Chain A
Amino acid sequence: EAQLVESGGDLIKPGGSLRLSCAASGLIFSNAWMSWVRQAPGKGLEWVGRIKTKSEGGTTDYAAPVKGRFTISRDDSKKTLYLQMSSLKTEDTAIYYCTPMETITGSEFIAFDIWGLGTMVTVSS
């Protein structure tokens, strides 16, 4: 059974940096496009960004609110996904989930089928 475990969430001051990790098991991690999705307290789901497989260039895409501040990377040997966050703002406060993107040929995105428990990031002075 596939499992995702996010970690690294913390209380951080505005302008600070933080790196989140997501350890995957039970799936062929190196073949998976991976995404980060966040949810602010009492709010809806918001896609953060994605990274394709190494064989497809490891290309990344980001949502407009985080572009230029957040970087997604992956270590397939460790089956781990990372989210490096910098210039953090109070509006980045959220639970951060990592999830593999289900895709099929000719489609960029089908669904998010597997979710971890998430890790909480609080940006506050």
Chain B
Amino acid sequence: QSVLTQPPSVSAAPGQKVTISCSGSSSSIGNNYVSWYQQLPGTAPKLLIYENNKRPSVIPDRFSGSKSGTSATLGITGLQTGDEADYYCGTWDSSLRAVLFGGGTKLTVL
């Protein structure tokens, strides 16, 4: 069971917007940076967001991240069928001295 909680699945139509939540604690998200990863079927994870809301240069601005208190959110606008993937949040937990991942959210673009 993951210590970071994500919804198992979300869905939306092409062109629409979707958000994926990630809930943690004061020792995890509350006091550490959050990152987000996209994993397409059969491939390795890919970094989408780091330091809560920053994007690597190769990631389009359709992807955004935010953090408030002990929760974080990934937003994706202008959904495309190619966005269908599993999405994971990650952070450090200062009490456990460990990197935590959320359980993952499967995005379906209807």
Chain B proximity mask over A112-125: 1 for CB below 8 Å, otherwise 0: 11011110000000
Cβ contact within 8 Å between A44 and B101: yes
Q: Chain A residues near B50 (CB, 8 Å)?
A: 102, 110-111, 113
Residue among B39, B99, B102, B104 with max Cβ neighbours from chain A (10 Å): B99
Cβ contact within 8 Å between B56 and A113: yes
Is B2 located at the chain interface by the 8 A CB criterion? yes
User: Measured between alpha carbons, how far is A111 from B90 in the docked complex, in Å?
Assistant: 8
Is B32 located at the chain interface by the 8 A CB criterion? yes
Is A10 located at the chain interface by the 8 A CB criterion? no
Cβ contact within 8 Å between A110 and B101: no
Q: How large is the interface on B (under 10, 10 to 19, 20 to 34, 35 or more residues)?
A: 20 to 34
Cβ contact within 8 Å between B98 and A115: no
Cβ contact within 8 Å between B51 and A110: yes
Cβ contact within 8 Å between A111 and B88: no
Q: Chain A residues near B100 (CB, 8 Å)?
A: 47
Cβ contact within 8 Å between A45 and B104: yes
Cβ contact within 8 Å between A44 and B44: no
User: Measured between alpha carbons, how far is A63 from B51 in the docked complex, in Å?
Assistant: 22
User: Measured between alpha carbons, how far is A35 from B92 in the docked complex, in Å?
Assistant: 13
User: Measured between alpha carbons, how far is A21 from B80 in the docked complex, in Å?
Assistant: 37
Cβ contact within 8 Å between B46 and A46: no
Q: Please count how many residues in chain A sit with their CB below 8 Å of the partner chain's CB atoms.
A: 24
Q: Chain A residues near B46 (CB, 8 Å)?
A: 115
Is B62 located at the chain interface by the 8 A CB criterion? no
Cβ contact within 8 Å between A44 and B51: no
User: Measured between alpha carbons, how far is A35 from B32 in the docked complex, in Å?
Assistant: 18
Interface set, chain B 27-49, CB cutoff 8 A to A? 32-33, 35, 37, 39, 44-47
Q: Chain B residues near A108 (CB, 8 Å)?
A: 32, 92, 94, 97
User: Measured between alpha carbons, how far is A108 from B100 in the docked complex, in Å?
Assistant: 12
User: Measured between alpha carbons, how far is A53 from B30 in the docked complex, in Å?
Assistant: 27
Contact of B33 among A46, A110, A113, A115 (CB under 8 A): A110
Q: Which residue of B lies closest to A109 (CB)?
A: B92
- A112: min CB distance to chain B, Å: 6
Could you tell me which A residues sit within 8 Å of B by CB distance? Answer: 35, 37, 44-47, 50, 61, 63-64, 97, 101-102, 107-113, 115-118
